[in-house]
């Protein structure tokens, strides 16, 4: 292994790239990949009311197939830095582990992909054995994902770039490296149920209309029945109420309005439109025309997707098993990722490090896992172009 994934990841960790700050991470990647003869583009995208975000696309080769490694260099804030064993942006190594915010989510995955690609190029005269290799890197994954991957993909397509397959280096593994490949994600939809009543004094309830009673009834009706039973690729969809609020600071006042916020994680039995229809229908049936209610639905770019198992997923799974000795589960569990955007351009799977410490104090990764993941990526590249 000529390129060192530990050193590359360590340099990335020393860049304080908390969303939306670039923090030097993309500049480091630009310098590293330009030295390997990649054509590199850095672009900043904007949207009214949001932070500007810098993004990165690099490619070596001009022919198909184009294998893409995707990821994000932005990280969540470290929180109380005094609670960390090592400073979150120091990239310290301690007892065989590399510490730093983003070590597993997901600068470690990017570091391994870069190292694997550089090794492949070195073994083939400085260029891919055939076809092309690209990097699609954003700085907006940990935020609202507006000025990141969606716009980066549009920019790439407008410039005539096409992809054949993509590996997203998110920390897909649950407990051990090699236990899980993500082939899909459930969608996510947020909403608020609002029950409208009439404010009044608690001593004179006949003069008021308490919305809390109606809210409790509708909440129960909405979540009383399962949304579906799941299927071969997905676990059942679930709706969870996460807050109930009446904005009432006193106990002798019947509120005029009551709200309940909820989130739905849904599989491919539904679309966002069909879910809204289903939930609103349940509320209407339960109200019997006697409860004045409405829904406020938030815009969502988190749709459900699945990459059907086939030759590409088998290639990745075989490389994982060869290195780790484990047959990975093909899973669609977990939250959302930028794969939901990439799937509109090419088949995508997620495979990276173990996610046990992501977003936690003392986020860290074993050095052995960085080297093993690099070996897996190198096998995938070599076999993909064989």
**In the predicted model, is pLDDT for residue 343 greater than 90?**
yes
Among residues 297, 314, 348, which one ends one of the domains? 297
Q: What is the pLDDT of residue 2?
A: 73
Say which of 74, 140, 161, 209 is annotated catalytic: 74
Mean pLDDT over each residue of the chain, to the nearest integer: 97
- Closest CA relative to residue 380, chosen from 203, 119, 155, 51: 119
Average pLDDT over residues 347-362: 98
Q: Is 158 annotated as a binding residue?
A: no
Let me know whether 287 and 338 are in one domain: no
Let me know whether 10 and 140 are in one domain: yes
Distance, CA of 79 to CA of 344 (rounded, Å): 35
DSSP-derived secondary structure letter, 78: -
- Closest CA relative to residue 385, chosen from 58, 2, 124: 124
Q: What is the pLDDT of residue 254?
A: 97
Let me know whether 32 and 172 are in one domain: yes
Give the structural domain span for 272: 187-297
Q: What is the pLDDT of residue 360?
A: 98
Distance, CA of 100 to CA of 6 (rounded, Å): 12
Let me know whether 196 and 124 are in one domain: no
Q: In what order do the strands lie in the sheet with 97-99?
A: 93-94, 97-99, 364-366
pLDDT for 91-148, tens place per residue? 999 999 999 999 999 999 999 999 999 999 999 999 999 999 999 999 999 999 999 9
CATH number (domain holding residue 159): 3.40.630.10
pLDDT for 172-211, tens place per residue? 999 999 999 999 999 999 999 999 999 999 999 999 999 9
Structure tokens at 189: 């939809």
Residues 103 and 366 sit within 8 Å (Cβ to Cβ): no
**In the predicted model, is pLDDT for residue 1 greater than 60?**
no
Let me know whether 180 and 197 are in one domain: no
220 counts as catalytic: no
Q: Is 142 annotated as a binding residue?
A: yes
74 counts as catalytic: yes
CATH number (domain holding residue 192): 3.30.70.360
Q: What percent of the chain has pLDDT over 70?
A: 100
Let me know whether 80 and 110 are in one domain: yes
Q: Is 170 annotated as a binding residue?
A: yes
Burial class (CB in 10 A: 0-12, 13-18, 19+), 301: middle
Domain tally for the chain?
2
Distance, CA of 381 to CA of 386 (rounded, Å): 8
pLDDT for 239-290, tens place per residue? 999 999 999 999 999 999 999 999 999 999 999 999 999 999 999 999 999 9
Average pLDDT over residues 336-341: 96
Q: What is the pLDDT of residue 211?
A: 98
Let me know whether 284 and 272 are in one domain: yes
pLDDT tier at 88 (50, 70, 90 boundaries)? very high
Q: Is 47 annotated as a binding residue?
A: no
Q: Which residues of 48-77 are buried (b: 16+ CB within 10 A; e: fewer)?
A: eeeeebbbbbbbbbeeebbbbbbbbbbbbe
Let me know whether 114 and 19 are in one domain: yes
Let me know whether 20 and 152 are in one domain: yes
Among residues 240, 275, 297, which one ends one of the domains? 297
Distance, CA of 117 to CA of 137 (rounded, Å): 15
Let me know whether 171 and 199 are in one domain: no
- Closest CA relative to residue 380, chosen from 304, 288, 313: 313
Let me know whether 72 and 177 are in one domain: yes
Residues 14 and 91 sit within 8 Å (Cβ to Cβ): yes
Say which of 22, 140, 141, 257 is annotated catalytic: 141
Strands 180-182 and 329-331: parallel
DSSP-derived secondary structure letter, 92: -
pLDDT for 63-78, tens place per residue? 999 999 999 999 999 9
Structure tokens at 169: 């280096």
Judged by phi (left if over 0) then psi (alpha if -120 to 50, else beta), residue 98 lies in: beta
Q: In what order do the strands lie in the sheet with 187-196?
A: 238-245, 257-266, 187-196, 293-297
Let me know whether 168 and 207 are in one domain: no
- Closest CA relative to residue 141, chosen from 258, 214, 259, 56: 56
Q: Which residues contact 148 (CB under 8 A, 6 or more apart)?
A: 45, 53, 55, 72, 138, 139, 140, 141, 338
pLDDT for 41-61, tens place per residue? 999 999 999 999 999 999 999
Instruction: Record the pTM.
Output: 0.92
Among residues 297, 324, 351, which one ends one of the domains? 297
Distance, CA of 269 to CA of 266 (rounded, Å): 8
């Amino acid at each position: 292994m000529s390129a060192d994934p530990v050193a590359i990841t360590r340099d990335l960790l020393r860049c304080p790239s908390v969303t939306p700050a670039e923090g030097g991470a993309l500049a480091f990647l630009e310098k590293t990949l330009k030295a390997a003869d990649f054509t590199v583009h850095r672009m900043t995208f904007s949207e009214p009311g949001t932070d500007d975000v810098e993004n990165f696309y690099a490619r070596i080769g001009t022919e198909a197939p184009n294998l893409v490694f995707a990821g994000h260099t932005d990280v969540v804030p470290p929180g109380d830095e005094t609670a960390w064993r090592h400073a979150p942006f120091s990239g310290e190594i301690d007892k065989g582990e590399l510490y730093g915010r983003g070590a597993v989510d997901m600068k470690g995955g990017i570091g391994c992909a870069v190292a694997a690609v550089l090794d492949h190029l070195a073994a083939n005269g400085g260029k891919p054995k055939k076809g092309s290799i690209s990097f699609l890197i954003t700085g907006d994954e940990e935020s609202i994902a507006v000025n990141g991957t969606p716009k980066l993909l549009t920019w790439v397509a407008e410039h005539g770039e096409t992809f054949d397959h993509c590996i997203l280096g998110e920390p897909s593994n649950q407990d051990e490296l090699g236990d899980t490949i993500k082939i899909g994600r459930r969608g996510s939809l947020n909403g608020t149920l609002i029950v409208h009543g009439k404010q009044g004094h608690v001593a004179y309830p006949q003069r008021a209309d308490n919305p809390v009673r109606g809210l409790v009834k509708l909440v129960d009706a909405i979540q009383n029945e399962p949304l579906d039973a799941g299927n071969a690729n997905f676990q059942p969809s679930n709706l969870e109420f996460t807050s109930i609020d009446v904005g009432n600071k006193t106990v002798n006042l019947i509120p005029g309005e009551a709200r309940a916020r909820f989130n739905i994680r849904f599989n491919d039995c539904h679309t966002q439109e069909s879910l809204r229809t289903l939930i609103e229908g349940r509320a209407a049936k339960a109200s019997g025309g006697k409860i004045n209610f409405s829904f406020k639905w938030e815009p969502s770019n988190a749709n459900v997707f699945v990459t059907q198992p086939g030759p590409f997923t088998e290639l990745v799974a075989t490389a994982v098993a060869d290195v780790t000795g484990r047959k990975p589960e093909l899973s669609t569990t977990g939250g959302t990722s930028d794969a939901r955007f990439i799937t509109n351009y090419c088949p995508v799977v997620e495979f990276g490090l173990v996610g046990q410490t992501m977003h936690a104090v003392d986020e860290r990764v074993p050095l052995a896992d960085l080297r093993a993941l690099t070996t897996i990526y190198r096998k995938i590249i070599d076999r993909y172009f064989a």
